[in-house]
Every structure is written in structure tokens, then in C-alpha cells.
Amino acid sequence: MADGAALAGLRVLDLSNLRGGLCGRMLADMGADVIKIEPPQGDPTRRLGPFAGNQPHPDRSLKFWFYNLNKRSVTLDYAHTRGAELLLQLAESADVVIESFDPGYLDRLGLSWDALHERNPALILCSLAPFGQTGPYRDYLADDTILTALGGMLFVNGFPEEPPLRPLGLQTYHVGSIFGVSAIMGALLARRHAGVGQWIDLSLHEATVASLEHVPGQFFEFGAVERRRGTLHWSGSFCVLPCSDGRYLLNSNLGEFANLVEWMKSEGMAADLDDPQWEDVSYRRKNAAHLFAVLGEWLKHHTSTEVLERAQLLRLAFAVVHSTDDLPNDEQLRARRFFVEVEHPELGRKFLYPGAPYLFSATPWRLYRRPPLLGEHTREVLCQDLGLADGELEVLHAEGVC
Amino acid sequence: MAPPLAGIRVVDFTWVVAGPLATRILADQGAEVIKIERQSAVPRRLGLYAELNRNKRSIAINMNQPAGVALAKRLVALSDMVIDNFSARVMRHWGMDYASLRQLKPDIISLSMSGMGHTGPLSSWVTYGPTLHARTGLTMKMSYDERPTGFGYSFSDMLAGQTAAAAAMIALWHRARTGEGQFIDLSQFEALIQTLGMSVLNLTVNGAAQPPSGWHPQEAPAAPHGVYRCRAEDGDNDRWIAISVRSHGEWRRLVTAMGSPQWASDPHFRTMFSRMNNRELLDRRLGEWTAQQSAYDAMERLQQAGVPAGVVANGRDLCERDPQLKARQFWATVKFPEGGQTRTITLPFRFSATPPAPLHHSPQVGEHKDYVLGTVLGLSQSEREQLVRNQTVWE
């Protein structure tokens, strides 16, 4: 099915929950056979809303849908001895296992790295844990919210006099998962030479700190503790300001800013910005508060669209502040056919999903299948791949193992 | 075990943040990354640009000269991958678009990580991280209320850099198996939308608009859920703790850890449903308790009790205080050839068999001229002097 895909022939057992969902999803999108192994009652993600049609149901969770497109689903209770043995059998023919349990959980089930490695020395295990597998915070409890806090992703967002602002989207899980893809691909490439797999100990906490841009560097270089500045970017180069049409505009003072000053000056509204010292970009950044105050006065007399069009022609990195609700109609995304239609035959409907973040010329991102129903591929995988007889499957089912 | 990308050479035309992060992740996994840069005397041993460029080599080539372009092409012919973050026209102008590059090296992987992608009506847009935050809706919807707010930094650059590194490694895997190179057109705009999938699906499936996200729980029902101000520390009043209570058990443990205050037995707070409905009052009461605590003490006490809690860490907390980052040696020291050193970030994962790549300092622009021209390209002393004399290569 994935012939010619970049990751064709790779088999991934995805034991992860929401924390690592995007990791397996990115591999599945590029053609890996990613089998989501769920407990018989389903990945906890299936119980999280919002739900399609606002009807709670394990096969209607939009969170499950988004993070599990292109995967298959097998139900298997590996907390049960027989289930654990079946998982080890599946691991024998797998290339990668992804898991995101609290550290130590798989060990207690007899599914430690050592046990997996002994069964299949070529196997790669990628463990995504909130704080990694070692250290004093190893067993701390954390969801995405706690990780944004301890990872430094909260402190610098929002207005100075207000509480730190939480990001939109489960971003600590996203950056952890994307680093997970790099780590897994690295282990796969290393395996070509060494022949054996290895265990990847990935910390979502560290992945969050690794996604902060300026915070560590400003501290190490200047001893500076960066704080919240509203919409003024830490660099002093960008700020969001309202326009005459009631919409907001993202403004930048990088590039040929003098072009814009000429325009403002022609309307008598450049104030002191035509002074030559403003031609120096570092001066503009240092004095950003004044610069954006003058710009803000001028914007009160212009609509967002007229400024945007001219600014981008002048090679200035402006943008109108849109809503996420505008995305499906975004002209750029439409031209690139970014959104893909995914058919859900079980509901008799099709829905638009965000598609490929990158276009590979030889091995494109592809839609292989809609997110799996709970246990949709249990029979296919356990009977065809592991050679279980139908009768055995029924016994396992009756015992609650699958 | 050798680093995963040992023996892989990357010609790196990227600049600013997103592109250099992508190639830095590849360099950290053992690739030889050679930056082709414009002449510049800006020092780059410390801070963000040191973090983004360590483990790379640098040569300053004048790409406005045909001889400079020819030199870059000779390097491509000896490399595995070319990465840029220009809009489409720049590489085409140099005759270094994918179709041309594969004439030089048939199995080359060319990764272009432009802001809006190589096609479409906005492909020539000038973008930085905040431009993309604005266009995706992050700036508007990541807010307390109707005022657009968003990230205080270019999260998009970090996300795009990480996504590009993952894409590059997928393409390297494909090439290792099949011998086939390819072109990757990565749109930083689209990479960012990948992280807003839930907002998109709730709209396309349920027709539900995205409200300002504020402190609404996005993952699972939770109450209390938010940040709470803590006691000032060394005169700094900007101290906060995040608390996220997702079950009845966690609520009971929180109440016990606070010493079972009277207010916590209020029937308004008995169930998750009632706590979510009375969250303003709940947040006020909990905030009165945290205001008496130091952020770190409160976190430790709550975590010991089994309640998800975390200090809202600032730069000093992360770089000097956090015992977890220290214990896992997340920060490392980089030494400069001229003497001196700095602290820097490492990769957020460890391999059980491959040791972490050694850390080399971030190069000044042009620092590896002799290595690139001599060792890699095999040019004679007189050829190298000629290039410098003609200002094709800057010292």
C-alpha cells in the first residue's frame, strides 16, 4: 500500500497516548505502517473532546482523529501476561516502538527495553516521557500545561501586568514528537551501520526548553531574564497594532523600513522617524516602543489591507492578524491544496484535515486511511501477521485481552 | 556507535533562526554542515546565534559573482544535501534550484524551507515567525480575551526548524535505501498549522469557531487549572506556579497538601463539573494560598502529594536552578579556540548506544575557509589566494 513511500516497509508499534501522537502520525504520513496498540477500552485520547457532532464516542474524538490519521488500530491488553507476550511477538517483526507512559510502567509489565531488545536486537524504542527516564523530576506528574510552565514556554507570553499566557495547541507534545521523529530516523540510520537498535530517552521538558528561541541565549550572553512584553517581540522587531478597519496588523521594522517612513512622511505622519539614525536596524530595535507608537498613530488612518499590500510589495514582513477560523479559506493554502478531504464511511461524511507540512517530490505525503476505529485492525494483524487462529482470537476477546 | 549522520555533508544557505536550527539539529547528529554566508563581522560566540550555529563550519562566499556561484556548485557536487530558507526565486537566480542541483549531484536532497512555500499567490511573501503567527491565527486566538496576543518569541521558527530536520532525515533514509534524492518544499506556514490541527478539525467537522484560548483546559477537563501567583522572591513579584487538577483524587490530594482549608469543602468545589463552573472563585481561593508560598516549595509539596504542579520557570530558573536539567546534563559547555567558553543547550533526547556528539563552538563568518577550499575542494594555495584576491571568498 505504501509502495514507493519514503518509509515504506517500516513497521512502528505506537503505544503512545496524546503526548506522542504526532510522532507516529508523521511517520505514518510518510508511509510507515504505524500500528496503534490500544487497551481494549481504547487509548484515553478517544475519551477526550471535542467529539464529532458533539456526541461522545471512542470513534468520534477529534483529538484522536487528528493524531491518528493514517495509523491502524489493534486492541491488546498488555497489562495482561498473554497480551504482553503477544506484544513481544509483534515487536519481533517491528522496527520501532513508540511509547509515552510514565517511566517504569512498561518495566512493570515485563516490557522493559531489555526485554524488547532481547526479543529483537534491531528494534528501536522511543520513549517520550514528561521529564525523561532519569533525574529528580522523573516521576513528577505533568500534562502539557505543567510542561509549558517548567519548560519556560509560559513565562514570556502575555502582557507584563497579566498572568503568563498558555499557548494555543498542545505545543510541548508537538515539539517533543517532532524531535522524536528526528531521533527515530537517527537511530534507524545508525542501525544501517551498527546492525542493532537502541533506546531513545526523550524528555518533553527538554524539548520545550529547546523550543524557546531567545530565553537561554539571552541569559547566557547577558545574564538577562526575559519577561513578557505583550505583542512586542523580544527582539524589538515586531508588534501588533490596530488599524482603522478594526483589524489588527503585525508590523515589522526589519528590511527596508525607510520605504514605509517615506509613505508616512508623505502624509505628514512620520514624526521623527525620518531622522537618519532610524536607518540603523539595531537603533530601530532598541527604540521599538517609540517607533511602534508613531506607527500606531498612522495606522489609525489606514485599513489593514491597504497597508499590508503595500508593505509586502516594499519587502516588509507585515501580516494581517487572522483567525484560525480563516485557515480553510486562506488563498495560499487553497492554491497549495493544503487541506485534504478525508472520507469517514462510518459516518457517511467527508471532512477537511490539515495536510502535508512539506511536499516531497519523489515520496509525497499521502492520505492512506482515515483514523482507525477502535480495534479495527486487530484481526488483520493478530491473525494474519501472528498467525492466530480465529478461535484463539475469540478466546482472547472473551478474556478481555483484545 | 558512530553518530547517525556521520559522513553526511550539508551545504547550508540558511539564515536567521528557523533554517539554522534545522541544520544545527543535523550537525548535532553528526552531519558536516558547511554554512555559505555573506561577509559579516558580527561576533557569534555567545547567545542565540551561538546556540543555532555551533557544530557547523563557515565559509563566506560572494554569491553575486559567477565565480562564487561556481564555487558553491563545486561544493554541492561533493555533498549530500542543500538546505535554504529563501523564497523560491533566490536559488533559481543562482541556477541552484533542484533541477540544476541534480545535474551536479544526481542523488542530491534539496530542502527549501521558505515562509509560504514555493508555489501559490503568496510564495514571494517576506515572513518571519511573527508574520506566520499572525497569518495562522495563533496571535489572535492565543489570548486572554479579544486582544490578539500570541507568543513573545518566534515559536514558529523553532517549530519549522525541528520539522525541517525531521523531513531531512526522512529523505536521507529514503536515499540510503533507494539511492534516490529529491526536492522538499517545506512551508513554514503549513508546518505551524500542523500544530493547530485541533482548532481546524473542530471548525471543519463541527463548525465550531475557536474562542480565545486563555486558560481553558485544552487537553482534558481540569479544575483548578491555570497559573497562580506565588510569594515574591528576591524582590521579584513575577513568580507563578501552574497547577492542573484532572481527577477527584488529585483534588483530594491538593486539598490535603494545602492543610485542608475550610473553603475547600465548599460544595461549589465538590465535583470537576462544579469546580469548572465556579472556576473564578476557585482560582481566587487557590491564589490566596499560593500567594503565601514560594513557587519551588509549593511545587515540591504538591508533587510529593501527587498533584501536577510546576514552577513557571524564567530564564534564570532554567539555566541555573532547574535540578532536572542539571541532572540530565541538558546544558553543556562550549569552548572557544581563542579562549573562553559559554553554556549552551543540547538535544532533548539521548541514545542508549550512540554517545552525544561533541560540541564545537559556533564559527565566526568565514572561519573554515581553508578547510573548505583546501581539505574539501582540494584547491591549491595559489587558487585559494586568487579567490580571496578577487573577493570571491572573503577572509
Tell me what the mean pLDDT of segment A337-342 comes to. 98
B282 part of a folded domain: yes
pLDDT per position as a tens digit, B86-95: 988 899 999 9
Beta bridge partners of B232: none
Number of domains chain A is built from: 2
**Confidence class for position A131, pLDDT limits 50, 70, 90:** very high
Contact A206 B229 (CB under 8 A): no
Q: Residue A271 maps to which CATH number?
A: 3.30.1540
For B149-179, give the DSSP string: ---SS-HHHHHHHHHHHHHHHHHHHHHHHH-
B23 and B59 assigned to the same domain: yes
A92 part of a folded domain: yes
B215 part of a folded domain: no
Instruction: Please state, for a pLDDT cut of 70, what percent of chain A lies above it.
Output: 100
B216 part of a folded domain: no
pLDDT per position as a tens digit, A249-294: 999 999 889 999 999 999 999 999 999 999 999 999 999 999 999 9
Contact A201 B350 (CB under 8 A): yes
- Contact residues on chain A for B342, CB-CB shorter than 8 A: 220-221
Q: Range of B60's domain?
A: 9-195+327-394
Q: What is the DSSP letter of B84?
A: E
Residue A359: name the closest of B109, B108, B184, B19 by CA: B184
- The angle, 0 to 180 degrees and rounded to 10, between the axes of the packed helices B295-305 and B248-257 is 130
Q: Residue B32 maps to which CATH number?
A: 3.40.50.10540
Establish if A3 touches chain B: CB-CB under 8 angstroms: no
Of B321, B336, B352, the last residue of a domain is B321
User: Which residues are CB-contacts of B130 (< 8 A; sequence separation ≥ 6)?
Assistant: A233, A237, A238, A250, A252, A317, A319, B139, B150, B154, B156
Q: Residue A48 maps to which CATH number?
A: 3.40.50.10540
Q: Judge if the upstream peptide bond of residue B106 is cis by omega within 30 degrees of 0.
A: no
B19 and B151 assigned to the same domain: yes
Single pTM value for the model = 0.98
Distance from CA of A371 to the nearest CA of B (A): 13
B213 part of a folded domain: no
Is the pLDDT score of A358 beyond 60? Answer: yes
B34 and B89 assigned to the same domain: yes
B69 part of a folded domain: yes
Is the pLDDT score of B41 beyond 90? Answer: no
What's the pLDDT score for residue B142? 98
Is the pLDDT score of A54 beyond 60? Answer: yes
B254 and B304 assigned to the same domain: yes
Q: What is the DSSP letter of A271?
A: T
Beta bridge partners of A11: A33
Left, alpha or beta for A180 (phi > 0: left; psi -120 to 50: alpha)? alpha
Task: Give the dihedral of Cα atoms A362, A367, A372, A378; nearest 10 deg.
Answer: -40
A229 part of a folded domain: no
Number of domains chain B is built from: 2
Contact B318 A219 (CB under 8 A): yes
Of A294, A321, A348, the last residue of a domain is A321
Tell me what the mean pLDDT of segment B130-156 comes to. 98
Query: Which contiguous run of DSSP H or E holds residue A218?
Result: helix A215-222
B60 and B178 assigned to the same domain: yes
Q: Which three cell numbers stand for residue B365?
A: 563568518
- Chosen from B349, B350, B361 to mutate, greatest number of chain A CBs within 10 A: B349
Burial B143-152 (b: 16+ CB within 10 A, else e): bbeeebbbbb
How many whole angstroms separate alpha carbon B248 and alpha carbon B271? 7
Contact B316 A219 (CB under 8 A): yes
What's the pLDDT score for residue B358? 84
Establish if B47 touches chain A: CB-CB under 8 angstroms: yes
What's the pLDDT score for residue B188? 98
Residue appearing with cell numbers 478481555: A400
Establish if A327 touches chain B: CB-CB under 8 angstroms: yes
pLDDT per position as a tens digit, A96-113: 999 999 999 999 999 999
Q: How many other β-carbons are positioned within 10 Å of the β-carbon of residue A54?
A: 11
User: Which residues are CB-contacts of B309 (< 8 A; sequence separation ≥ 6)?
Assistant: A141, A146, B241, B242, B243, B244, B298, B299, B302, B303
Specify the 3-state DSSP secondary structure of A353: strand
Establish if B353 touches chain A: CB-CB under 8 angstroms: yes
A95 and A48 assigned to the same domain: yes
Tell me what the mean pLDDT of segment A38-48 comes to. 97
A271 and A386 assigned to the same domain: no
Of B267, B288, B321, the last residue of a domain is B321
What's the pLDDT score for residue B87? 85
- Chosen from A63, A145, A170 to mutate, greatest number of chain B CBs within 10 A: A145
What's the pLDDT score for residue B42? 80
A294 part of a folded domain: yes
B126 part of a folded domain: yes
Is the pLDDT score of B206 beyond 90? Answer: yes
Of B287, B321, B355, the last residue of a domain is B321
How many whole angstroms separate alpha carbon B245 and alpha carbon B263? 17
B81 and B191 assigned to the same domain: yes
Establish if A281 touches chain B: CB-CB under 8 angstroms: no
Contact B195 A169 (CB under 8 A): yes
A67 and A203 assigned to the same domain: yes
What's the pLDDT score for residue A22? 98
Task: Give the dihedral of Cα atoms A334, B126, B160, B315; nearest 10 deg.
Answer: -140
B217 part of a folded domain: no
B18 and B136 assigned to the same domain: yes
B152 part of a folded domain: yes
A73 and A180 assigned to the same domain: yes
- Contact residues on chain B for A329, CB-CB shorter than 8 A: none
Distance from CA of A87 to the nearest CA of B (A): 22
Distance from CA of B57 to the nearest CA of A (A): 20
How many whole angstroms separate alpha carbon B225 and alpha carbon B282? 10
Q: What is the DSSP letter of B363?
A: P
B114 and B237 assigned to the same domain: no
Of A290, A321, A352, the last residue of a domain is A321
A35 and A164 assigned to the same domain: yes
Is the pLDDT score of A3 beyond 90? Answer: no
How many whole angstroms separate alpha carbon B257 and alpha carbon B299? 11
What's the pLDDT score for residue A90? 98
A54 and A176 assigned to the same domain: yes
The phi, psi pair for B96, rounded to 5°, reads -125, 25
Establish if A289 touches chain B: CB-CB under 8 angstroms: no
Contact B227 A163 (CB under 8 A): yes
Q: Which three cell numbers stand for residue A67?
A: 493524531
B142 and B82 assigned to the same domain: yes
Pairing of strands A96-99, B32-37: unpaired
Is the pLDDT score of A1 beyond 70? Answer: no
The phi, psi pair for A362, rounded to 5°, reads -95, -30
A227 part of a folded domain: no
**Confidence class for position B40, pLDDT limits 50, 70, 90:** confident
A329 part of a folded domain: no
A18 and A149 assigned to the same domain: yes
What's the pLDDT score for residue B43? 83
B38 and B160 assigned to the same domain: yes
A359 and A284 assigned to the same domain: no
**Active-site residue numbers of B?**
157
Task: Give the dihedral of Cα atoms A319, A323, A327, A333; nearest 10 deg.
Answer: 0
A244 and A205 assigned to the same domain: no
Contact B135 A319 (CB under 8 A): yes
Cβ atoms of A46 and A58 within 8 Å: the answer is yes
pLDDT per position as a tens digit, B342-395: 999 999 999 999 988 789 999 999 999 999 999 999 999 999 999 999 999 998
Of A259, A291, A321, the last residue of a domain is A321
Q: Let me know if B67 is exposed, middle or buried by CB neighbors in 10 A (0-12, 13-18, 19+).
A: middle
0.95 surpassed by complex ipTM: yes
A334 part of a folded domain: no
A344 and A309 assigned to the same domain: no
Is the pLDDT score of A168 beyond 70? Answer: yes
Beta bridge partners of A340: A353
How many whole angstroms separate alpha carbon A17 and alpha carbon A46? 10
Pick the residue from chain B with its C-alpha nearest to A361.
B183
Contact A141 B220 (CB under 8 A): no
- Contact residues on chain A for B203, CB-CB shorter than 8 A: 324-325, 327-328
A197 and A129 assigned to the same domain: yes
How many whole angstroms separate alpha carbon B84 and alpha carbon B81? 10
Residue A209 one-letter amino acid: V
Q: Range of A242's domain?
A: 238-321
Residue A348 one-letter amino acid: G
Tell me what the mean pLDDT of segment A319-330 comes to. 98
- Contact residues on chain B for A158, CB-CB shorter than 8 A: 144, 149, 152
The phi, psi pair for B36, rounded to 5°, reads -105, 115
Q: Residue B231 maps to which CATH number?
A: 3.30.1540.10
What's the pLDDT score for residue A195? 93
B65 and B89 assigned to the same domain: yes
A160 and A86 assigned to the same domain: yes
A378 part of a folded domain: yes
B188 and B45 assigned to the same domain: yes
